């Protein structure tokens, strides 16, 4: 009951007219960026992150929640209408969703996706509210060894799962880790790798790297291809989303299954929502094959409902894991962590004690964001597709301008702008040669935690590495890690023999 | 890409070697960078070997029309515009520098109406200046238009 009281207080904090306005603005902005072709929710968050620093923390995070979920909604809208998923977690939705749209059932497809996302997000938010206090209690048992194990898990799992090529994933991780060691060492206070530049004493800002790699790198990549690829975007008509009773009943079990599949992935730092979306798509396809008349391949509503629910269930849970453990499971969550740190808040057990009002207002705003999104996505899908009419050169010109604005707003220095450009070029090269970006972000975010906890643990044990694998929690984590690596190796082997999707 | 990883790893290793660890105890400030740098170097070598053994041909739909996969002219416009923006920002001020980067990017992306773009660029950067600089209180430089630097 205590939890409910806290949540009610959170609602009281989030439902002030000002904060309500921020949720709505966040949802609109997030959807708008997510809807633009090729831009996903992580891009939305990365671009808008620096802008939020003008607000107070509560308002900023409420705005963020709106942008984050809005980006996911916008992503799937475009995945369905135009077959252009903004990021990997929307790819599974394109398979059946786009076929539905091609078959003239775009409104139904959009409604299925919106309701699925709503259900997945809602259930996970409820779970987060009730689970995070116990997660917090659990995480207070963590010492440096456990945190190091957790960070290693996140590193290896993302690097091996996200990319097809483990070497590329690890290389991306190394870059991210390497960036974090620049600056004054937090344990000993020695200044490292600064080349004597005073601007680097505080290290390279995560915000700069985020905007550089995710936003500017993308602009450069598109620039390098824009005059070569000729894909003419067609705007299809999408009216009001109505589901017939029969369609609703058909989609309902898929929404449920998708949510159940998505939930556990929210607390496993293995690269975010793309894996559960593919798993749930695969489950639906297998179930479909057993039916008398298989519908997959012709725009099966279940093949869209399940991944959407799974994706949002994972995202919702991920926010819980982020707040309670300080553990980002995806690039987008990593950016949120950066935002928290920018406000001097360290997610983890202490956050719930020290900034209870903020945390609960944020959790409450998840619910509000879901409702607002459902309200603006069901009737306005047609409107969103109008955004595609912005000419590409103005769109990307504006994004470049906003990258500059964002970084200048946080640092107010020319040095950071040049740094942004340099890292942006590296981001472009990575994209050009198919290197995954998520490991870099995770490495960058968790690098300092991994380093300090490793060294704390080793200092406490006078350099005895055995200390890293004592205690049952570390055993469990390393066992899980073996499991994940094994599973991805198995998956890679299987992919070679059987190509279906 | 292997070159970038390799160079960065070397930078970490050399930097660690030159670093004065002070009187820190065993896992000092050099410990982690050396591990990361070492791993990076090994990875760079492995990746380079991989590229040499099987250069991945990109399936380019427009192959034949252009010599390179990437459009370097467009890239040059965008990066050059951004660099100019970064370096000139304190002097030109937000409105002019912002318009500059917008125009360069739009041009790089193949816009064919340079004069009209100038208007759009100025309009957008002024709008941002108004909203973020004036209303939200971000400290954007006014540059020569404000007469003060």
Q: Across the interface, which of B4, B82, B136 has its CB nearest the CB of A421? A: B82
DSSP A102: I
Among A335-344, B3-12, B26-35, the range of highest mean pLDDT: A335-344
Q: Which residues of B, range 86-105, sit inside 8 Å of A by Cβ? A: 86-87, 89-90, 98, 101-103, 105
Q: How many residues does chain A have?
A: 501
Do the chains contact at B98 and A401, CB–CB below 8 Å? yes
Q: How do A183-184 and A191-192 pair as beta strands?
A: antiparallel
Q: Across the interface, which of A168, A193, A400 has its CB nearest the CB of B82? A: A400
The CA-atom distances, in angstroms, between A389 and each of A228, A396, A420, A445, B42 are: 20, 13, 29, 36, 47
Do the chains contact at B111 and A224, CB–CB below 8 Å? no
Q: Which of the residues B15, B105, B114, B132 would you substitute to probe the A interface, choosing the one with the greatest number of A C-beta atoms within 10 Å?
A: B105
Do the chains contact at B106 and A458, CB–CB below 8 Å? no
Do the chains contact at B11 and A190, CB–CB below 8 Å? no
The CA-atom distances, in angstroms, between A132 and each of A63, A68, A326, A328, A480 are: 21, 20, 12, 15, 21
pLDDT in tens, A146-177: 778 877 777 777 776 655 677 777 888 888 88
B33 touches A at CB < 8 Å: yes
User: How many A/B residue pairs have CB atoms within 8 Å?
Assistant: 202
Do the chains contact at B106 and A397, CB–CB below 8 Å? yes
B22 touches A at CB < 8 Å: yes
Sign of CA dihedral B92, B97, B98, B103: positive
Which run of H or of E encompasses A414? helix A414-432
**Quick one: how far is CA B2 from the chain centroid?**
18
From chain B, the residues in CB contact with A412 under 8 A are: 139
Closest Cα of chain A to B87: distance in Å?
A: 6
* pLDDT of the residue at A283: 79
Nearest-Å Rg of the Cα atoms of chain A is: 22
B128 touches A at CB < 8 Å: yes
Q: What is the pTM of this model?
A: 0.70
Q: Across the interface, which of A222, A394, A409 has its CB nearest the CB of B138? A: A409
From chain A, the residues in CB contact with B58 under 8 A are: none
* pLDDT of the residue at A383: 66
Q: Across the interface, which of B27, B62, B102 has its CB nearest the CB of A454? A: B27
From chain A, the residues in CB contact with B105 under 8 A are: 219, 223, 393, 396-397, 400-401
DSSP A53: G
Q: SS3 of B60, please?
A: coil
Do the chains contact at B82 and A54, CB–CB below 8 Å? no
Q: Does the pLDDT at position B63 exceed 60?
A: no
Do the chains contact at A171 and B11, CB–CB below 8 Å? no
* Closest A-chain CA to B117: A394
Do the chains contact at B105 and A405, CB–CB below 8 Å? no
* pLDDT of the residue at A256: 84
Q: What is the mean pLDDT of residues B18-31?
A: 58
Residues of chain A with pLDDT under 50: 230-240, 499-501
Nearest Cα to Cα of residue A241 among A360, A336, A106, A413: A106
Do the chains contact at B40 and A178, CB–CB below 8 Å? yes
* pLDDT of the residue at A450: 79
Nearest Cα to Cα of residue A395 among A133, A215, A250, A167: A215
Sign of CA dihedral A72, A76, A82, A86: positive
Do the chains contact at A414 and B86, CB–CB below 8 Å? yes
From chain A, the residues in CB contact with B110 under 8 A are: 226-227, 392-393
pLDDT in tens, B120-143: 888 887 887 777 666 666 667 766
Task: Name the token pair of A256.
Answer: 């449920």
Q: Which of the residues A171, A220, A392, A467 would you substitute to probe the B interface, choosing the one with the greatest number of B C-beta atoms within 10 Å?
A: A171
Q: What is the mean pLDDT of residues B2-11?
A: 70
Task: Name the token pair of A130.
Answer: 């009730």
Closest Cα of chain A to B136: distance in Å?
A: 7
Nearest Cα to Cα of residue A106 among A257, A223, A239: A239
Closest Cα of chain A to B108: distance in Å?
A: 7
Q: Across the interface, which of A392, A424, A430 has its CB nearest the CB of B109? A: A392
Task: Name the token pair of A91.
Answer: 């790819």
Closest Cα of chain B to A122: distance in Å?
A: 33
Closest Cα of chain A to B123: distance in Å?
A: 11
Nearest-Å Rg of the Cα atoms of chain B is: 23
Q: Across the interface, which of B25, B40, B60 has its CB nearest the CB of A459? A: B25
């Amino acid at each position: 009951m205590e939890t409910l009281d806290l949540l009610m207080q959170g609602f009281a904090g989030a439902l002030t007219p000002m904060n309500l306005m921020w949720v709505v603005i966040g949802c609109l902005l997030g959807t708008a960026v997510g809807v633009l072709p090729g831009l996903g929710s992580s891009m939305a968050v990365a671009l808008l992150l620096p802008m939020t620093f003008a607000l107070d923390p509560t308002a900023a995070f409420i705005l963020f929640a709106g942008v984050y979920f809005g980006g996911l909604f916008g992503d799937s809208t475009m995945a369905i209408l135009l077959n252009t998923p903004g990021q990997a977690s929307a790819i599974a939705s394109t398979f059946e969703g786009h076929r539905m749209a091609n078959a003239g059932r775009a409104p139904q497809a959009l409604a299925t996706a919106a309701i699925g996302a709503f259900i997945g997000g809602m259930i996970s938010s409820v779970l987060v509210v009730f689970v995070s206090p116990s997660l917090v209690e659990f995480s207070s048992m963590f010492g440096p060894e456990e945190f190091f194990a957790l960070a290693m898990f996140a590193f290896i799992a993302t690097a091996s799962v996200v990319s097809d090529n483990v070497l590329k994933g690890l290389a991306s991780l190394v870059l991210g880790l390497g960036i974090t060691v620049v600056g004054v060492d937090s344990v000993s206070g020695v200044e490292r790798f600064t080349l004597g530049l005073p601007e680097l004493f505080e290290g390279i800002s995560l915000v700069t790297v985020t905007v550089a790699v995710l936003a500017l790198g993308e602009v450069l990549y598109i620039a390098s291809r824009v005059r070569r690829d000729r894909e003419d975007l067609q705007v299809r008509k999408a009216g009001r989303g109505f589901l017939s009773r029969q369609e609703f009943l058909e989609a309902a079990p898929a929404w449920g299954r998708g949510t159940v599949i998505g939930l556990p992935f929210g607390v496993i730092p293995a690269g975010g929502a793309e894996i559960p979306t593919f798993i749930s798509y695969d489950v639906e396809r297998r179930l479909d094959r057993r039916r008398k008349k298989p519908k997959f391949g012709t725009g099966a509503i279940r093949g869209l409902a399940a991944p959407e629910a799974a994706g949002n269930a994972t995202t919702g849970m991920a926010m819980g894991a982020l707040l309670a453990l300080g553990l980002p499971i995806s690039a987008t969550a990593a950016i949120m962590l950066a935002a928290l740190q920018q406000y001097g808040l360290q997610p983890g057990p202490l956050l719930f004690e020290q900034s209870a009002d903020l945390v609960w207002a944020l959790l409450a705003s998840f619910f509000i964001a879901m409702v607002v999104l459902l309200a603006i996505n069901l009737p306005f899908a047609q409107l969103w597709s109008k955004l595609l009419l912005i000419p590409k050169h103005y769109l990307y010109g504006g994004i470049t301008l906003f990258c500059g604005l964002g970084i200048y707003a946080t640092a107010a220095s020319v040095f950071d702008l040049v740094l942004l450009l340099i890292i942006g070029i590296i981001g472009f090269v990575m994209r050009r040669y198919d290197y995954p970006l998520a490991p870099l972000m995770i490495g960058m975010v968790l690098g300092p935690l991994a380093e300090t906890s490793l060294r704390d643990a080793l200092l406490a044990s006078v350099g005895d590495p055995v200390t890293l694998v004592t205690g049952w929690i570390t055993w469990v984590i390393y066992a899980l890690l073996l499991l994940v690596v094994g599973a991805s190796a198995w998956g890679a082997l299987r992919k070679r023999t059987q190509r279906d999707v | 890409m292997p070159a970038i990883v390799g160079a960065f790893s070397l930078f970490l290793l050399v930097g660690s070697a030159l670093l004065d660890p002070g009187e820190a105890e065993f896992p000092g400030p050099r410990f982690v960078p050396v591990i990361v740098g070492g791993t990076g170097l090994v990875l760079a070598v492995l990746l380079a070997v991989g590229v040499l053994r099987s250069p991945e041909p990109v399936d380019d739909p427009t192959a034949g029309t252009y010599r390179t996969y990437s459009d370097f002219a467009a890239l040059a416009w965008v990066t050059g515009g951004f660099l100019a923006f970064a370096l000139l920002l304190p002097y030109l001020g937000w409105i002019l520098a912002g318009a500059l980067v917008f125009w360069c990017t739009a041009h790089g992306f193949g816009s064919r109406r340079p004069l009209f773009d100038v208007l759009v660029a100025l309009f957008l950067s002024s709008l941002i200046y108004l909203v973020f600089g004036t209303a939200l209180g971000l400290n954007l430089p006014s540059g020569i238009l404000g007469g003060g630097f």
